Structure 1
Amino acid sequence: MLPFTGGQFLANLVAYNEAIWPVQLAAFAIGILAMVLLIWRPRMADRLIAAVLAVMWLWTGAAYHWLHFAEINPAAYIFAALFVVQTAVLGYAGVGKGQLSFRLYSGTAASVGISLIAYAAVLYPVLGIWTGHAYPEMPVFGVTPCPVTIVTLGFFLLAKPPVSPWLFAIPLIWSLIGGSAAFLLGMPQDWLLLMSGVIAVCLTVASRRKSRIGRSQL
């Protein structure tokens, strides 16, 4: 049983969106920037994309979970800590060490990655509106946990293998926790989130094995 009702969840979401406006626009803008960097590929593109993802996780952990969601769910303090840890992992591996290399390429993993990014940025809010959850009664791209997790998994699928398993741990956990909103809170846009973590991990493992086989045959 959840410690809050569906009505309380939506009311809390409305209060959050109204309190942080117009941060949503800034989040969408840096999301577009990350996509442009993925295509344009200037110097430092990989580190900048990782930084964009890290900022989204940090903001969502602190502003959403800690300062707002915790008002109706005490477990949000734990969620906030997890999101801050993911921020640190992204900052260390992607920004500090430059261990993430994003690029557009052909293949199943890349196609799924692009689809997840497009879903988080466009189809997620459209589906929310279609099912009766128009703004401000909707999770918004870049500033709420579920879209942030989906877009992050999308970018990870566009990263050159091997990608550290530590980068996937928390997004996978949240895909299961947050994805439960699909049936517990009547949020059909989160059905894809529920499956996205497992799909992304499986595709990444397959890509990693393929890369190892390719290197061993050289």
Structure 2
Amino acid sequence: MATIDETEQASASQRVLAILRQEIVTGKLEPEQVIHESETALRLGVSKTPVREALQGLLWEGFVMAFPRRGYVVRPVGMNDIRDVMDLRMSIEPPITGIAARRRSSELVEELREILARQVDESLEFDERLQAANDFHRAIAATAGNKRAERLLCTYFDETTRMHYLFSRASNHVVSPSELDAHQEILDAITEQDEARARQAMTDHLQESNEALLRSFY
């Protein structure tokens, strides 16, 4: 059984991990920026141990790289990263979306409608609309009931969100008519419990998103 100190340390590590991940995803911590354990611990008001453990988690997730004598560096994003992330999403997400359609509930439909309404709402800040786009995919992944696939996809969603922050041309795509129409088509297919249509709608959406991200890189 874990002691109180061990439980508190694990909680602190998870909190630091969430903060640093968010700072990387939103570009606050820039590509190739060095993350110093002591400075980060002081800034976040924790000891170096939870920072070190959080950085190990980010290393496993692929958001940072470790170098001898240099420490941890925020991983840059290149064209191969875009291809890799989108290829992996293409392998996992369409089948997951089909399963979500088959298991559709009124709660899921209502949740997706509310999320899409936020993404469409032009009165909201870009950050909020981008988060809505991320939430839309997360809600679908959570419904399929495959926790391993959900964990993998959530990391890929964060990586995709990061690309939208890093590449200004990509950010426009999140609120474009093609993006919003694609999410509406996915929602309609799930609402009607049309598994094949939902799977194809997600496939088409990811292909189009991949092309938009690659164009933004040049």
TM-score between both structures, scaled by the size of structure 2? 0.29
Structure with a larger share of its residues in strand: 2
TM-score between both structures, scaled by the size of structure 1? 0.29
Q: Which of the pair has more CA radius of gyration?
A: 2
